[in-house]
A and B are shown apart, each in its own frame.
Chain A
Amino acid sequence: MDKQLYERKRFKPSDYTVFLLIAAIFLLLTFTSDTFLTYNNLYSLLYGVSIQFFAVIGFTFLLILGEIDLAVGSMYGLSGTMAGVLMVLGKWNFLPSVLLTLVLCTAFGAGVGLLVTKLRLNSMMVTLGTMSLLKGLTAVLFNMMTANIYGEAYRNFAKFRIMGINWTILAMVLIVLVFEVLLQKAPSFKQLYYVGHNEETAKLYGIKTNKLKVLSFAACALTAALGGIIATSRITHSDILTGSGLEFSLITACVVGGASLAGGRGGMLKSAAGMLFIALLTNGMIIYRIEPNLQQVVIGIILVIAVSIDVWINKYKYKPFKLLRR
C-alpha cells in the first residue's frame, strides 16, 4: 500500500504531456498562421469542443472503469435524429421530445451495461454490435424526414447565450471543475479508479462493481445523447454523418489525456484537454488545407502512437489482452 501511495505521488510524464502538447500546437499555429489567433476562430473552436465534450463525460467514467463503449458516436448521431422525428413527424413539443429521447437512450445504455455485467461479456464486442445497430436505426429514421429544418425552439437550444457566451462553453467549464473535484475527492467517484485498477480487490472490499458499471454505461449513453441533441441543434437539421467516427476521436482524446485502456487512470480535466488537443489539431489541418481524409489518417496515427506510449509507460501492470479476456 505504501509503495502504491508513493507511486501515486511520483511525477508521471503522461499526466502533463497533453498540456505540453496543447501549448506546443497552440504556439506553432499562432506563429505560422494569421487566421488562427483571432477571436472568431478560437471561439468557434471552443464552441465545437464544448458540444463534443458532453459525449466524453460518461465515456471517461467508462474508461476509468476499464470498460469501453464504441457505440458512443452512433448514440450521438441517433439522439438528434430521434428527437427530430418526434418533433417533426410526431408533432411533439420541444421539451417532451428531447426528454423522451434522453430517457430512451439512457435505458438503452443501461441495457448494454446489464448485458455486459450479468453475462460477463466483453464490452468492446457488445458495443461493436450496438454501434452497427444504432447506425442502422439512425439511417432508417433519417430517411423518414430528409431535408427538414427543425423548429425554432430546437434551433435556439444550442445558441442560448449567457453574458454573450454560449451556455455549452460555460457548462463545460463547470462540469470539468465539478467532476474533477468529485473524481479526486468524493468516495463514491473514487470507487471508479479502484475498480479500474483491480476489480477483484475492489469486489473483496465491498464495492458494488456491477452497479457502478451499469450506471456508467447509462451515464455514457445519456451524455452522448445530450451532446448529439445539442450538435443537431447547432446545425439546425439532422445529418446522417453526425457522430461518425466520434468514438475514434474520443478514445484518442482520452488516451492522449492520460487515460489508459487498461482502466484506472484518466480524469475529466485531462479528457477535456485531450478533446481540445484534437480540435486544435483538426483546426490546424483545416488552416493548412489538408484533405479531410488525410486528417482522419493523422488522427489514426496519433491514436496508435498514444496507445503505444500508454502501454510502454504502464508496462509493469498492463496485461496485453486484458480487455479481450474476461
Chain B
Amino acid sequence: MVKKAFNYLRNQDYFFSLLICLAFAIALAVFSPYFLVRNNLDSLQTTIAPNSIIAIGMMLLIILGMFDLSVGSVMGMSGIVAGYVLSRTALVQALGEPLVVLLAVLAGLAVGLVVGLINGVLVAKAKIIPLITTIGTMYIVRGFAEMIMTSETGYSLIGFPKAFIDFGRTKFLGLYLMTWVCLILLAVFGLVLTKTHIGRKLYYIGGNRSSALSLGMNVDKITIICFMISGLLSSIAGILSVSRFESASRYLGVNLQMDILIACIIGGGSFLGGKGDMWGVFFGTAFVALLQNGFNLFEINPLLKSVVIGAVLAIVVAVDGYLYLQKKRALGKV
C-alpha cells in the first residue's frame, strides 16, 4: 500500500517539489527553535497564500507555454487602487462601510482584468512574445503605481474601514481567511484542470500548439482568458495582502514575478508547456517561502536572497532543459 502510494507520487510532476519542500521544512524545524512557533507559522501563511494565488494563474499560462511577468506590478497596483477607494472617508460616510469595501474590491479586480486583457490581446492578436509584452506592462503598471505613491495621494492611503481589516485578521481553524481563499482557489482550479474539458485543452495546446490549432481549438481566446485569470488572481492576492497588512505599500509585489516563476517551475511546470498542476503550485510556493524563511531564521544577509533565487532559477531552467534534451535523445530526435 505504502509502496503503491510512493510509486504513484514518484510519477507525478510535483514529486520533486514535494520532496524538496518536506526536506526543507524538516531541516528548518530541526535546526531552528523559532520555526515551529505560532508567529513564524502565521507569517509563513501570509507569504504562501498570496503567492500561491498568483502562482495558480502563472501555472495556467506555463501549461500553455507562456508566462506573465507583470503579476507583481498588478498585485501592487490593485492593492493601491483598493486602498485608495477604502481610505476616502467621505465615500465611507456617504455609502456605508460594506458598499465601499465591495467597491474597493471591484476596483482592485478591475486593474487585474484590464492588464490581463491587454497582455492577452498583445500576445494572442498582435503576436508579441509574452516576455516582451509582460515586461512592458510590468514597467508600465509599476511606473503608474510609483507615480501614485510618490505623489500627495500616497500619504493618504490610511485608515481603512474596520470590516476590511477584520477580514485580514480573522482566523478560522488556525488559518487566516486568506489561506482558506487560497486553498479553495487551488481546489477549484485543480478540479478544472484535471476533470473538465476546458482544463485538458490547456495541456493539449501547451503540448502541441499547431495540432491544437488544426483541431479547431480557439487558441487565441484561451490565451486571452488565461492572461485575464492571471491578472485577476494577482489582484485578489494584492487586495488580500492589503487587508492583512492594513496598508497599501509601494513595495508590495516588487520582484515577485521571479519567486512565482521559480515556484511554478520547481513545482513541475516546464517553460515548454504542457506540464504542471495545482499540487505543484502549492509545494513550489511553499518551498520558496521556506527558503526565504530560512534566510530570516538563520539571519543570513537578505541581500543574498536574490543571488540564491537567481541561481535557483538558472539551475532549474538548466535541469529542465537537460531532461527535455534527454527525452528527445531517447526518442532519437536530436
Contact = CB atoms under 8 A, between A and B. Distances in A.
A322 B136 CA distance: 19
B313 A135 contact: no
A186 B215 CA distance: 47
B175 interface: no
Contacts of B305: 136
B189 to A, nearest CB: 23
B90 interface: no
Interface stretch (B4-12, B19-27, B317-325): B317-325
Interface string A277-292: 0000000000000010
Contacts of B271: 122, 125, 324
Interface residues of A, number: 46
Given A300-B137, A324-B65, A261 B321 contact: no
Contacts of A325: 65, 272
Contact of A248 (B135, B306, B315, B318): B135
A7 B311 CA distance: 44
Given A126-B314, A126-B318, A300 B140 contact: yes
B313 A324 contact: no
Nearest to A141: B303
A2 B79 CA distance: 58
Contacts of B44: none
B37 interface: no
Interface string B253-285: 001001001000000000110000000000000
B150 interface: yes
A321 B209 contact: yes
Q: Name the interface size band of chain B.
A: 35 or more
A325 B317 CA distance: 13
Nearest to A124: B131
A120 B325 contact: yes
B1 interface: no
B122 interface: yes
B167 interface: no
Contact of B129 (A119, A125, A134, A320): A320
Interface in B67-94: none
Given A125-B271, A136-B307, A294-B143, A321 B65 contact: yes
Given A119-B322, A125-B271, A304-B122, A311 B127 contact: yes
Interface of A: 115, 119-122, 124-126, 128-137, 139-140, 143, 245, 248, 251, 261, 291, 293-294, 296-297, 299-301, 303-304, 307-308, 311, 318, 320-326
The 8 closest A-B CB pairs, nearest first, are A133-B310, A132-B310, A136-B307, A129-B314, A136-B306, A129-B313, A297-B143, A300-B140
